[in-house]
Amino acid sequence: MSDAESIAQTVGTINLADELGFDSAWVGEHHHRRPEAAFWGRVSASELVLAHAAATTSSIALGTGVRVLSTTTALRTAEEMSMLSVLSGGRVDFGIGLGSGQPGMQSRDEKAAAFRVLVSDLLAFLRNDPATGLPELSPVSPVDITTRLWAAARDEPTIAHLADLGINLVVGQAETGPVQANYVEQYRKAGGKGRTRGVRLVHVAPTHAEALARTEAASDLYFSQMTKGGYHKEAIDKGLFPAEPESREAMLEQINFIVGTPETVIKELNTYIAQTGVDQLDAMVRIPRLAIGDVHECMRLLKREVIPNLAFGVAPMWSKTA
| Rounded Cα gap, residues 62 and 56, in angstroms | 12
pLDDT at 54: 98
- Reported as a single tens digit per residue, the pLDDT across 200-229 is 999 999 999 999 999 999 999 999 888 776
Q: Mean pLDDT over residues 227-244, rounded?
A: 75
More confident residue, 44 or 34: 44
Read off the pLDDT band of 102 (50, 70, 90).
low
- Reported as a single tens digit per residue, the pLDDT across 52-98 is 999 999 999 999 999 999 999 999 999 999 999 999 999 999 999 98
pLDDT at 100: 67
Task: Answer left, alpha or beta for residue 139, where phi above 0 means left and psi between -120 and 50 means alpha.
Answer: beta
pLDDT at 241: 77
On whether the CB atoms of residues 122 and 69 are closer than 8 A, the answer is: yes
The angle subtended at Cα 91 by Cα 111 and Cα 62, nearest 5°, is: 50
Query: pTM of the full predicted structure?
Result: 0.93
Q: Mean pLDDT over residues 107-133, rounded?
A: 93
Q: Mean pLDDT over residues 262-286, rounded?
A: 97
Q: Is the pLDDT of residue 236 over 90?
A: no
Read off the pLDDT band of 322 (50, 70, 90).
low
Q: Is the dihedral of CA 7, 198, 272, 303 positive or negative?
A: negative
Least confident among 17-31, 57-71, 229-243:
229-243
Read off the pLDDT band of 247 (50, 70, 90).
very high
More confident residue, 271 or 42: 271
User: Is beta strand 168-171 parallel, antiparallel or unpaired with respect to 149-152?
Assistant: parallel
